[in-house]
Amino acid sequence: MSAKARRRTTAQLDRAAQVCAQQGAQLTDLRRHVFSLILEAGAPLTAYQLLDRLKLTHKGAAPPTIYRALDFLLEQHLIHKIERLNAFIPCVEAGHRHPAQFLICCQCGVVSEIENRAATNALEHAAEKEGFRPRNTVVEIEGVCAACFRPS
């Protein structure tokens, strides 16, 4: 991990601590540790991948350990779950709830988060047209990312 990346992670952890404090929640060492694993991964990690990594330094970690931390981070809007992968990534706009769309590259595995207003609006209108009140929308677009796409 580069010095630059480490600085970024530290900044994100600090930001997260602020966000939690504002909500009257605490980013404990355990939660911070799990969050840092997600931040440093660069690709989505499943709960058990996180558990394996956590175990390296946190003997006695068990499934509830990781699922509780994940629930907390989700509640604080610090991470997102990618349903199709049963995996977790950091939120690029950490700390506040927002509509998002995820681009999942099936070649390199990278997932990037975008917030496209036109798409969000179109989905909301589509739902309203049916008399449906949206509360929480999941958009997961699988395909090939720009980096992986090469014209033949």
Contact residues for Zn ion, defined by CB under 5 A: 91, 93, 100, 105, 107-108, 145, 148
**Is residue 61 within the footprint of DNA (CB under 7 A)?**
yes
Q: How far is 104 from 112, CA to CA, in rounded Å? A: 7
Closer Cβ to Zn ion, 65 or 74, answer by number: 74
DSSP state of 64: H
CA distance 71 to 68: 5
- Asked if residue 29 binds DNA (CB under 7 A), the reply is yes
- Give dist(CA 126, CA 124) in Å, integer: 5
17 makes contact with a second copy (CB under 8 A): no
Residues within the interface to DNA (CB under 7 A): 25-26, 28-31, 46-49, 58, 60-65, 67-69, 72, 86
